[in-house]
Amino acid sequence: MIIGIDLGTTNSLVAVWKDGKSQLVPNGLGEMLTPSCVSLDEDGSVLVGKAAKERLQTHPERTASVFKRYMGSDKKVRLGERDFRAEELSAFVLKSLKADAEAFLGEPVTEAVITVPAYFSDAQRKATRTAGVLAGLKVERLLNEPSAAALAYGMHQLDSESRFLVFDLGGGTFDVSILELFEGVMEVRASAGDNYLGGEDVTSAIVDLFFQRNKLDSSLRNNPMFMQRLGASAEAAKRALSGGQQASVQIQLDGNDLLLEIDEEVLDKLCAPLLKRMREPVERALRDTNIRAHELDSIVLAGGATRMPVVRRLVTMMFGRFPTAEINPDEVVAMGAAVQAGLKMKDAALEEVVMTDVAPYSLGVAVSVRLADGKSSDGHFSPVIERNTAVPVSRVGHYHAVDPRQSYVLLRIYQGESRLVKDNILLGQLEVPLPQDGEKAVDVRFTYDVNGLLEVRANVDKSTESHVLIIEGNPGMLSDAEIKQRFIELEKIKMHPRDTLEMRTLLARADRIYQQVRGDLRNWLGMQITEFEAVLETQNPRLINPARSKFSDMLNSIESDSHLHSDFDPQPN
């Protein structure tokens, strides 16, 4: 069985293709959304999901979130005494989702389709595949998130003919894809996006405004506990504004109440520069397909941040119509990943469905150009594969040595759209020896597969020798040997047992609330936690089950009385 995974910046989901349809898989808490958070528990085991999210505030030095933003880089995140790369943290999330799928299906799972932002680079894609390997999963396919959303959406109308645009704004990334659906063939015509734009930027903008309005010193940003609490309160206010008109961010600092009131107007202003950045990819995708906004049949929303009214208004304004909200935007990508898994398994219900995708950015090499006065100018970009070419694709570029005395050429491979390579992204380089005599030229073959992974081969003219680009030494990527080593290391770290996760999550939540309240309520809550722990130690389900419900209701009631998920001062009576 191949499973479909949406590995998101803020939340991750797993779904399976079963009984002729996509089905979401619940996690150990019975929920579909698993927060992409990882925490190292005091007993050395790894907590993933809601329990880890609760610990972001109580144990920030042992907990990590939004690490998808570091995929493809060598940035490390310290949890306790150990450093982890983004691939490793993602691997913990994948392991947890794999265990959920195994519990749901009642069989071992070893293969997965994992979604990535369409605009993810080669290094980011390879890091995602590595995360899968580290989690013990063979990654059957990396699928672009908007293409996954389109697959889920298209399943509802396979017999119709339509053109639609997927507007996918997640926690950390923004993608746009334009697709055409015709007789069961779903063709991505163009993708564009921004890898560093998402709902988390809105939360950060609220945090910045909080600092500004309360005249806080920027050194407070180095206080992880304060920043996590502020972040959580800003996130709650942002979500509240998706349903209401007013919200506040409230935090206690050294006995003082700090406050920021936000209404729709303030939020709109904060979002204005972010919304501006969303226009460019939309316009580029339309331009590349030669389709006008009014010629689209529908606009499909994906990603949690499209719940924001200000984003929906932008979409409505840009396209002159309301977006469709047929499928839950949080779930649509995972549902599509499961369709792709079904396609991979050649499920009979999907016989008529075909999906084609594109390379979202141009790929090429750095060249020197000769000017009219005979001088040469370095650092120009020569595209070999143009953006939005259907994949898989293989193209050859033919290049000459600048100087006939040259004994080798250094091929530098870039991705991007700029005229000068300094403004594009360097993917790697390849040194190709040239023959002593004969033509000093090389053929460079770029092969871009359906996963969005690139292979570059160079052939010196009239020789059969071929040089394959191996982007080793790129700090953002692990070699095969390093992956093997890290797999062994990660195997030694135990995941928290799934069957006790619910209790662990409840206790993590209680700890967070305990740290937030003060006075009598705090003392009282401390006693309740100790008593609940004593019941858990009995290991007697007849005692534990009613105590758990009571404990959970009690936490709900404290949080709803406190009107905010941040600091508050109970009124002693």
- The smaller minimum CB distance to ligand AMP, of residues 125 and 440, is found at 125
> Nearest approach, Cβ of 96 to ligand AMP (angstroms)?
16
Is residue 68 part of the annotated active site? The answer reads yes
Rounded Cα gap, residues 565 and 562, in angstroms: 7
> Nearest approach, Cβ of 405 to ligand AMP (angstroms)?
54
Rounded Cα gap, residues 360 and 386, in angstroms: 9
Nearest alpha-carbon partner for 63 in 55, 74, 51, 71 = 55
> Nearest approach, Cβ of 240 to ligand AMP (angstroms)?
8
User: 114 to each of 151, 219, 418, how far by Cα in Å?
Assistant: 14, 39, 30
Q: Which of 100, 168, 180, 288 is catalytic?
A: 168
- The smaller minimum CB distance to ligand AMP, of residues 284 and 307, is found at 307
Backbone angles phi, psi at 466, to 5 degrees: -130, 140
Q: Taking CB under 6 A as the criterion, which residues in 144-173 touch ligand AMP?
A: 170-171
565 is a site residue for ligand AMP (CB under 6 A): no
Angle between helices 224-240 and 50-58 (to 10 degrees): 130
Rounded Cα gap, residues 251 and 225, in angstroms: 12
- The smaller minimum CB distance to ligand AMP, of residues 304 and 383, is found at 304
Rounded Cα gap, residues 299 and 329, in angstroms: 12
> Nearest approach, Cβ of 196 to ligand AMP (angstroms)?
13
Q: Which of 145, 235, 330, 357 is catalytic?
A: 145
Two structure tokens written together for 30: 């019975």
Q: Using the rule CB under 6 A, give the single segment among 5-13, 50-58, 342-350, 537-545 that binds ligand AMP.
A: 5-13
Q: Which of 242, 382, 389, 394 binds ligand AMP (CB under 6 A)?
A: 242
Two structure tokens written together for 115: 């979604």
CA quadruple 534, 540, 542, 546: dihedral positive or negative? positive
Rounded Cα gap, residues 63 and 41, in angstroms: 9
Backbone angles phi, psi at 164, to 5 degrees: -145, 160
Binding-site size, ligand AMP (CB under 6 A): 19
> Nearest approach, Cβ of 33 to ligand AMP (angstroms)?
7
Under 8 Å CB-to-CB from 436, ≥6 apart: which residues?
407
Nearest residue to ligand AMP on Cβ basis: 199
Is residue 145 part of the annotated active site? The answer reads yes
Measure the CA dihedral 154/158/164/166, to 10°. Answer: 10
Q: Which of 50, 53, 54, 68 is catalytic?
A: 68
Two structure tokens written together for 277: 């950045």
Per-residue DSSP letter, 242: T
Is residue 88 part of the annotated active site? The answer reads no
- The smaller minimum CB distance to ligand AMP, of residues 88 and 235, is found at 235
199 is a site residue for ligand AMP (CB under 6 A): yes
28 is a site residue for ligand AMP (CB under 6 A): no
CA quadruple 541, 547, 548, 549: dihedral positive or negative? positive
Classify each residue of 104-121 as buried b or exposed e, where b means 16 or more C-beta atoms within 10 Å of its C-beta: beeeebebbbbbbbbbbb
Q: Using the rule CB under 6 A, give the single segment among 303-311, 393-401, 507-515, 529-537 that binds ligand AMP.
A: 303-311
Rounded Cα gap, residues 60 and 43, in angstroms: 16
Q: Which of 305, 421, 427, 460 binds ligand AMP (CB under 6 A)?
A: 305
For 19, other C-beta atoms within 10 Å of its C-beta total: 8
Q: Binding pattern to ligand AMP, positions 433-472, x when CB under 6 A?
A: ----------------------------------------
Q: Binding pattern to ligand AMP, positions 202-241, x when CB under 6 A?
A: ---------------------------------x--xx--
Contacts 24+ apart (CB under 8 A), 223-227: 224/60, 224/61, 225/57, 225/58, 225/60, 226/251, 226/253, 227/60
Q: Which of 6, 140, 201, 288 is catalytic?
A: 6
- The smaller minimum CB distance to ligand AMP, of residues 96 and 362, is found at 96
304 is a site residue for ligand AMP (CB under 6 A): yes
Q: Using the rule CB under 6 A, give the single segment among 21-29, 197-205, 285-293, 410-418 that binds ligand AMP.
A: 197-205
Two structure tokens written together for 270: 């904060």
Q: Binding pattern to ligand AMP, positions 308-337, x when CB under 6 A?
A: x---------------------x-------
Q: Using the rule CB under 6 A, give the single segment among 6-14, 17-25, 189-197, 213-221 that binds ligand AMP.
A: 6-14
Three-class SS state of 386: coil
Two structure tokens written together for 435: 């023959």
Please, is 416 exposed, middle or buried when counting C-beta atoms within 10 Å of its C-beta (0-12, 13-18, 19+)? buried
Decide if 169 contacts 303 (C-beta within 8 A).
yes
> Nearest approach, Cβ of 75 to ligand AMP (angstroms)?
19
Q: Using the rule CB under 6 A, give the single segment among 207-215, 299-307, 497-505, 558-566 that binds ligand AMP.
A: 299-307
> Nearest approach, Cβ of 148 to ligand AMP (angstroms)?
12
> Nearest approach, Cβ of 320 to ligand AMP (angstroms)?
24
Number of residues that make up the chain = 573
Nearest alpha-carbon partner for 414 in 434, 433, 387, 390 = 387
65 is a site residue for ligand AMP (CB under 6 A): no
Three-class SS state of 395: strand
Q: Which of 11, 130, 144, 505 binds ligand AMP (CB under 6 A)?
A: 11
- The smaller minimum CB distance to ligand AMP, of residues 15 and 478, is found at 15
Q: Which of 5, 7, 9, 96 binds ligand AMP (CB under 6 A)?
A: 9
- Residues in the site for ligand AMP, rule: CB under 6 A? 8-11, 170-171, 198-200, 235, 238-239, 242, 303-305, 307-308, 330
Which residues are part of the catalytic machinery? 6, 68, 145, 168
